[in-house]
Amino acid sequence: MIIAIVAILLFIVLAREVYAATHIQAGFYIKPICTTDGHGVLLTFDDGPNVKNTPKVLEVLRRYNAKAVFFCIGGEAEKYPDIVKQIISEGHMIGQHTYCHNPFHSFFSSSRYLSELQQAHGVFARLGVDIKLFRPPLGITNVMIKRAVEQMGYLTMAWSVRSFDTRSESRAKVISRVVDKMQSDSIILLHDRMDDADIVAEEIIKEITNRGWTLCNPHNINL
């Protein structure tokens, strides 16, 4: 009987974590930004900077005069500071995505998670980047993460359209998923570490333009 109760409680806890990860935009633990409030479709890129693919994404954005938010991993920013500086110089915004993107972050204590955020924040500060936005790896939030993020004074940006572009799927399927779900004020989640990130981004931008929508400049959102 006791084992059954423990199993049920464990299931409830895990289910809550899965819900929080899948529906971060619902504000289960942290109330996130998940719409541009009519400013247009916003492109966001996680897990960079990537030495091979981020420059190609930047070239596409430059060609279409589009701006985006890059949620950069602190450790990667430390490796490739010139790419971080290029992102900023071309008018994009950088948000924090922790220092090392550890898949077990959700099991960290609040103090350890805070230390992770502070380490990444230090990297960006040394590069002259003022960080206001945060996106948790895998979209996972919990009480401990909430406390750490609040101590840093960050705003959390979620998404309204998740591309699932890190799956082993065709480029066409990823693009179709995004364009089928996006609305005129969507926040789209992409990953600039992926090999086809530039091509996917370009096709999405073309569809936004074809629909007569605008591309949101993150600097125009009231944060």
For the annotated catalytic residues, the residue numbers are 46, 191
Q: Concatenated DSSP letters for 130-145?
A: ---EE--GGG---HHH
Dihedral through CA 23, CA 29, CA 30, CA 36, nearest 10?
20
Neighbours of 154 (CB within 10 A): 19
Q: CA–CA separation, 44 vs 191, rounded Å? A: 8
- Scanning the structure block, which residue is given the tokens 């998404």? 159
Q: Which two tokens stand for residue 200?
A: 């996917």
Q: Using CA atoms, how far apart are residues 161 and 187, in angstroms rounded to an integer? A: 6
The single-letter DSSP state of residue 36 is -
Closest by CA position to 220, among listed 24, 57, 41, 26:
41
216 DSSP 8-state letter: P
Residue burial 63-96, b: 16+ Cβ < 10 Å; e: rest: eeebbbbbbbbbebbbebbebbeebbeeebbbbb
